[in-house]
Copies of this chain bind each other. A is one copy, B any other.
Amino acid sequence: MYLSISEENYIKAIFHLQEADGTVSTNQLAANIHTKPASVTDMLKKLTSKRLLLYKPYQGVRLSTEGRKLALEIVRKHRLWESFLVDKLQFGWDEVHEVAEELEHIRSKKLVDKLDQFLGNPKFDPHGDPIPDSNGVMQAIRQVNLLDLKPHTKAEVCSVGSQSPELLELLKHKQILIGTRLEVQCKFEFDHSLEIELDGNFKINISQQLAQALFVKTI
């Protein structure tokens, strides 16, 4: 099954969007992929005819088993390349997303598997997201949203909810990285912000929006 870069991008976007909702709407997809709803409808029909999607007009769309398999291959490539860029080429973990977005479309099974081996078969990428193995199996990390942590719990940041430059800028400013350890001090009902203590013992305030974008594992 050979997909164009556009087709791959749709498959990947549906994969990520359906994580949350189970089913994905036309408008959601259009927003995510920076395209118009009319274009999305066309592509949904096309990918459905290739048996990669389960799609009922007006009712949203999900990946078929085959579609999910392809999505996992793309995610695998994306995350392996991100790991390569950070671990081997010394990119910052916040500047690799766009390049990986291009590299993920290189078609060579052999390349991917050799890259995986070269990197030492990593299980997580620099953002803390799990990397599917060559069978599409990925480690289910039971990471929890920072918002859901109770006061006085210690945790380690292991992934971020989006790759937006705005989020990454804020994290850089607050000196929060993957691997940063923290302890929730207290939570404020008024704005749902929370106070945390970082590695270096200093305390900072985290807004609801920011906490929602941070995933941690308790330690």
Contact = CB atoms under 8 A, between A and B. Distances in A.
Interface residues of A, number: 17
Contacts of A140: none
A2 to B, nearest CB: 13
A90 B111 CA distance: 10
B89 A118 contact: yes
- The secondary structure that dominates the A interface is helix
Interface in A89-104: 89-91, 98-99, 102-103
Contacts of A110: 91, 99
B88 A118 contact: yes
Number of copies: 2
B102 A114 contact: no
A205 B102 CA distance: 46
A106 interface: yes
Contacts of A102: 106-108
B111 A106 contact: no
A187 B89 CA distance: 49
A133 to B, nearest CB: 18
Interface of A: 85, 88-91, 98-99, 102-103, 106-108, 110-111, 114-115, 118
19 contacts: A85-B111, A88-B118, A89-B111, A89-B114, A89-B115, A89-B118, A90-B114, A91-B110, A91-B114, A98-B108, A99-B106, A99-B108, A99-B110, A99-B111, A102-B106, A102-B107, A102-B108, A103-B103, A103-B106
